[in-house]
Amino acid sequence: MDSRQIIVVEHPAAMAAAAAQRLVDRIAHDSRCAVCLTGGSSPEGLYRLLADEPWRGRVPWDRVHWFMGDDRFVPLTDPRSNMGIAQRLFLDRSPAPRGNVHPIPTDTNYPEGAANLYADELQGFYGAEKLDPARPLFDLVLMGLGPDGHVASIYPGSRALDEKQRWVLGVAKAGWEPFVPRVTLTFPTLASTREMLFLVDGAGKRDILRRVFAGGDLPGSRVYSDGALVWMLDRAAAPEGVS
C-alpha cells in the first residue's frame, strides 16, 4: 500500500488527541492487537492522554500488547529509556496487564544480545519467523522524525537502512543524542503494520520534513509501511505548501 497521507493539525495538543483517536480506531477489533510505541518527545502528549479518561476507557487494555520500535541501551529506570518513559506516562498508570508490555530487554550484556532476544519475542508473538505482508505484525506503529532525518534508531548512512532479513538490530553508536548504544527494529519489521503513524511537531522539524517529502536520501524518506503511512504534523512543523 504505502501512499503517504499527510495530516496537519493546529498544535501539539490537537496532535495528541487526533493520534489517540487513530490508535483507538486501529485497535477496535475483537482479536488481540499490537501497538509499537516510539521514543522522543513528540508522542508524550498522546501517552499522557491514554492514562486518563476519556481515552483510558476507550482502550481495550486486556487485548492490546505494547512493543517499542527502538530503545536506548539503558535500564528501564533510566530517564533516557523509551519504554521507561512510556511506562511512567501511561502504562504503569493504566490497567494494562504486565504480560502485555514488551520492553526491549536492555539488561543484557550487549545491544546485539537484546536485539536477538527481542526478535525471538516478536516472532513468538507473531507465530512465525517470516513476515507475511498479508498478515501484519502490528496494528499501529508510532514513529518520530529526528532533526537529521533518522527514524527509530536508524540514522543517515547506517547499514541498518539496507537490512532486509533481521527483525531487530543492535546499534553500537547512536547518530543522535543521547549518545548511548541502541536497539532498533528494522524497516521490514516496522513496515509490518496496518498503519504507520508519524508524529512530528515544532518549527525545528520544518526543514528536515521538507527534505524528507522531497525524497532526499534519508531514513525518513526510505521508511515504508505495508499498510497506511500517515504523517501527522502540527502547523509549526509543516513545510510551505503542505497543509
Q: Which residues bind ligand 6PG (CB under 6 A)?
A: 38-42, 70, 72, 82, 144-146, 150-153
| Smallest distance from ligand 6PG to CB 31, Å | 27
Shortest CB 90 distance to ligand 6PG, Å: 16
Identity of the residue, 12 or 227, whose beta carbon is nearer to ligand 6PG in the bound complex: 12
Q: Which is nearer to ligand 6PG, 144 or 181 (CB)?
A: 144
Nearer to ligand 6PG, 40 or 113 (CB): 40
Quick one: cell of 48? 499522557
Count of beta carbons in the 10 Å neighbourhood of residue 189: 27
Shortest separation between residue 152's beta carbon and ligand 6PG, angstroms: 5
The residue (of 54 and 141) whose beta carbon lies closer to ligand 6PG is 141
> Is 201:234 a contact under the CB 8 Å cutoff?
yes
Distance CA 23, CA 43 (A): 12
**Closest Cα to residue 181, out of 73, 79, 40?**
73
State the nearest-atom distance from the C-beta of 41 to ligand 6PG, in Å: 4
In Å, what is the CA distance from 58 to each residue of 16, 21, 25, 188? 15, 9, 10, 30
Closer by beta carbon to ligand 6PG, 135 or else 173 = 173
Q: How far apart are the first and last CA of the chain?
A: 22
Residues in contact with 6: Cβ distance below 8 Å, sequence separation at least 6, in sequence order: 213, 230, 231, 233, 242
**Nearest approach, Cβ of residue 192 and ligand 6PG (Å):** 18
